[in-house]
Structure 1
Amino acid sequence: MPKPTAPWFHSLTESVYALGAAAREYRTADQAARTASWHIDPLRLLPVDGTVSVVDRDYIRPHDDAVWKIGDLYSELGSRTKKQYENAALAYAYGTTAALVSVLKGERPPHIELGRVAGLYVLPPIPLPDLSEELGNWRDSQGLSALRQQVVERECAGAVVNDLLSCGDLADYGSADMTHASEVAAGLADSAYAYGEQAESALHFALIASNPNHTPKEGQ
């Protein structure tokens, strides 16, 4: 007997949950990379005396050499995990929102649909939409709007930082302003993930409201 096909809303909620789970894994990896980097910080470690005479070269301090090289490895790992976490969190936010919008329009998307290039999700070129009007009957609609505003502000700050770094001329931009923009942009991944969680809850609400017989899966 053929296996029954799961209702479209089950596969959709599973798709959303899986994308959120991926973001959580990258978040854990990012935290672990930063912790590892902190433990090997040369400014925190006690110096270890002792040198080695390298044939046809000079002398090296092997402990210092190891600490700096490990620091470089952890720094590279941290950059990669940060990039992956931010991309997955934004994909969670944008993908869940796209699914939510479709459901609010009466459509039945079976999965989140996103582009993917070089291991990263391709994000829409437009900001997250404000759905406070469409979700007016949902008790957490204002919370979703507030989280959306945070994501938009952090994306804008990141765009400012990237533009300045790409042109290589910071003379016309105050260092304090640049620092502030960098600090705001640094919280983008966490804000996007928090928005994604709230949007996932909104999706469950929309599915139930559109058809009380729907029983979307809340968690795995």
Structure 2
Amino acid sequence: MPEKTTQHWTDSLFDSVYALYETAREYQTAHRAALVAVEMVDVDRRQLHEGRVALRGLRGRVDADYYRTSRVVPHMKAVFDLYDLYSRTERELHRRYEEAALLYASGAAWAIAVVQGDETPAHVDFNTAEDGTPVIHRLSITGLDRYAGAGELTAAYDQVATRMDAAQYAGDLADRGDLTDHQAGEMDHAIGVAMGLADTAFAYGLLAQQAVNYVLLEPRRARESELAAARAAAQTSN
């Protein structure tokens, strides 16, 4: 069997960032499918069949020896049950998508920072919380003044920061308990802004991933020069 070629750190680091992209994209796709499922069973958009079925043998609450017959609308029950099920699934997938998108964006930002600091990591490293889940890195990216996409990257980060601030503000208001009508309105608005965090973080991650390629240009060129020099030396020795 041929020997497995060891990846250069620039390749494995980019693969690490790309794996975070694929992870976030999986959850994005799943969340979008869940949204469609919820819409399909929205009672305001459905025509429910009014046919009923009889359920016999239900024990009464007053007399344990009393049995009654109940007539239910099975189609209506199914739609309401599915709406509840899909809604819970959608909320969970949204949470996971948001988490994956933030890890993706912050992982790319971390990769840029360490390469700028002349480090050579083979993978994106995350610290973990007590429950073992990875903790996101700092999302802001600096030191790319000469990069053509720096302006777009900064604008995307500002959108992420705005939505994260909104999420924090909504959480702070929710923790207070009793709110005035004005505060309740502010909380609803903040929640609405924060709901777009997953998509915004994913879009920022895409731009940050492109910037990872940019900061890896010089290390990759240096690697190519080393390989060219090694090949030249080998030919000379032969």
TM over 0.5: yes
Aligned position for 1:72: 84
Query: How far does the alpha carbon of each residue in 1:91-132 deviate from its partner, in whole angstroms, 9 at most, with x for none?
Result: 0011111111000111011101124566853224xx52341x
**1:96 matches 2:108:** yes
Query: How far does the alpha carbon of each residue in 1:26-74 deviate from its partner, in whole angstroms, 9 at most, with x for none?
Result: 1111110001100111111112112222222522111111011011110
1:173 deviation in Å? 4.3
- Rounded to whole Å, the distance in 1 between the matches of 2:223 and 2:93 is 37
Distance 1:115 1:54, change over 3 A: farther
Maintained 8 Å contact 1:9/1:214: no
Unaligned runs of 5+ in 2: 59-67, 225-238
- Rounded to whole Å, the distance in 2 between the matches of 1:213 and 1:94 is 26
Aligned position for 1:182: 191
Give the letter for the 1:59 counterpart.
R
- Rounded to whole Å, the distance in 2 between the matches of 1:140 and 1:214 is 25
1:184 deviation in Å? 1.1
**1:140 matches 2:149:** yes
Aligned match for 1:129, one of 140, 146, 150 = 140
SS in 1 for 2:216: helix
SS in 2 for 1:53: strand
Give the letter for the 1:152 counterpart.
A
- Rounded to whole Å, the distance in 1 between the matches of 2:177 and 2:72 is 36
Say which structure, 1 or 2, has more relative contact order (CA 8 Å, 6+ apart).
Answer: 1
Query: How far does the alpha carbon of each residue in 1:154-179 deviate from its partner, in whole angstroms, 9 at most, with x for none?
Result: 00100111222233322264343223
Q: How does 1:42-57 map to 2 (within 5 A)?
A: 42-55=43-56, 56=58
- Rounded to whole Å, the distance in 1 between the matches of 2:14 and 2:168 is 31
Give the letter for the 2:174 counterpart.
L
SS in 2 for 1:54: strand
- Rounded to whole Å, the distance in 2 between the matches of 1:99 and 1:61 is 57
SS in 1 for 2:115: helix
Moved segments of 4+, more than 6 Å: none
- Rounded to whole Å, the distance in 2 between the matches of 1:119 and 1:23 is 18
Unaligned runs of 5+ in 1: 216-220
Give the letter for the 1:209 counterpart.
E
- Rounded to whole Å, the distance in 1 between the matches of 2:15 and 2:73 is 53
Aligned position for 1:35: 36
Maintained 8 Å contact 2:174/2:187: no
Q: Provide TM-score, normalisation by structure 2.
A: 0.82
Distance 1:52 1:166, change over 3 A: farther
Q: How does 1:102-181 map to 2 (within 5 A)?
A: 102-116=114-128, 120-124=133-137, 127-131=138-142, 134-171=143-180, 173-181=182-190
SS in 2 for 1:180: helix
Aligned position for 2:61: none
- Rounded to whole Å, the distance in 2 between the matches of 1:59 and 1:120 is 48
SS in 1 for 2:199: helix
